[in-house]
A and B are shown apart, each in its own frame.
Chain A
Amino acid sequence: MEHLKVTVDGTTYQKEVEPRTLLVHFLREDLGRVGTVVGCDTSNCGTCTVLVDGVSVKSCSMLAVQADGSEITTIQGVSDGNDWHPVQSAFKECHGLQCGYCTPGMVISSIDLLNENPNPTEAEIREGLEGNLCRCTGYHNIVKSVQRAAELMEGTKS
């Protein structure tokens, strides 16, 4: 077992983990934070995406021990209490989801995308989300949601 200290969505945890534990399994099974889901066995779908020290990673493709000392944000940590993150509000407003399975990853990847590029073109949005697969929406409303989120976030600056 390896000792692990991580901050997840603002709370610091100290745990013993087996080295083979994937970060996503640690979040779900050891911490009970099941907002982050698993959608594939091949590192393709992106539904497990979280922010590790501010950048998006696939939590199924990282060992929990590798996150020692880092700060993680999952879908459960993006809102400010009852105030939704602008990306969450935009997904609701633009119907950026149907079944919702891809949504935790889509929202996190969109936050990462807008952090790096606050004013993306449609092509940049489609490319920026290429690590996230959606089986329902056909992506169109997801793209609209990100465009709307960019507007909302522009409005919150000043």
Chain B
Amino acid sequence: MIPVAFDYKKASSVEDALAALAEGGEDAKLMGGGQSLVPVLRLRLNAPSVVVDCSSIPELKGIKDEGGKILIGAGTTHHAVMNDPAVKSSLKVLADATASVADPQIRHRGTLGGALAHSDPRADQPPVALALDAEFTIAGTTGQRTVAAADFFQGPFETAVGPDEILVSIAFPKLDGWGGHYEKFNRAAQAWSIIGVAAAVRMEGGKIAEARIGLTNVGGTPHRASAVEQALVGASSIAEVEAASMHASDNLSPFADEDADVDYRLHLARVLTARSVARAAGIS
């Protein structure tokens, strides 16, 4: 299908984009890589009056190693994120989750910021940002503010980014020396997660000393499995990892859909958490 007609504005800076959003009012729509937005426009599920393209704003692109953290511009493509040496060595779980998104063509254009701002309940990067306590820098006409991951994801397709605001960058605390893994469960190539589990684990003397775990597609927003994180401390065997992972379904009330009913989702949450942690920790 052909999208409904709209005006197009190519923004050259964050200020430029903010001004275009303010001018466009309610029906203005920001575009990153367009890999969620163009399909939506094509199906006429959304009909903005003006599309503000921020895909060529230099300050939104790039990955900076800032000592204790890695700062990723919102407009950095999935392809750039998953191939970045600093991301691969200090944020393996993010590199893994990003490599599992869609397919090479979509990863060439889709951006980390676009995926996080879109916040599809099935998306693979939001649970990583939540588990790793990423910090989101958001720009508005009155200046910039920082939002913690725990406050960023507010509902399906709903985040702390207001309609007149722009997500500028995401800062991830570096996890040097940690193991990481993203366990994605789906039925066919290129398909979305039925459930995905992001795990990062720090080992000390053969035992798990610290763990961070986030799940996708078990509710409207990504889920932090805090009870599993606590129960894993001290675990060194697969039996202990599996026992701790039983808590992955604590406080979950997932939905049923064509892929999985509620009981099956709860089962998958437990099994895939154990699998993901075991891989991240190198325990078999």
A interface with B by C-beta (< 8 Å):
2, 18-22, 25, 41-44, 46, 49, 55-58, 60-63, 65-66, 68, 109, 112-113, 126-128, 130-132
Contact = CB atoms under 8 A, between A and B. Distances in A.
B162 interface: no
A18 B5 contact: yes
B108 interface: yes
A62 B190 CA distance: 19
Given A55-B79, A131-B106, 9 more contacts: A19-B6, A20-B4, A43-B106, A49-B105, A57-B108, A65-B8, A66-B53, A130-B104, A131-B103
B39 interface: yes
Contact of B190 (A2, A22, A44, A57): A44
Nearest to B108: A55
A21 to B, nearest CB: 8
Contacts of A2: 8
Nearest to B53: A66
B34 A62 contact: yes
B8 A43 contact: no
Interface string B52-82: 0101000000000000000000000001000
Interface in B68-99: 79
A2 B106 CA distance: 25
A21 B190 CA distance: 26
Contacts of A112: 104
B109 A62 contact: yes
Contact of A130 (B5, B42, B190): B190
A131 B39 contact: no
B35 interface: yes
Residue from A2, A58, A68, A128 having most chain B Cβ neighbours under 10 A: A58
8 tightest A-B contacts by CB? A131-B103, A19-B8, A130-B189, A20-B3, A43-B39, A131-B105, A61-B38, A55-B108
B42 A63 contact: no
B104 A131 contact: yes
A19 B51 contact: yes
B160 interface: no
Nearest to B190: A130
B260 interface: no
Contacts of B4: 20
Contacts of A60: 38, 42
A85 B211 CA distance: 50
11 contacts: A19-B7, A22-B38, A41-B1, A43-B35, A44-B190, A57-B109, A58-B105, A109-B104, A130-B103, A131-B102, A131-B104
Contacts of B38: 22, 43, 60-63
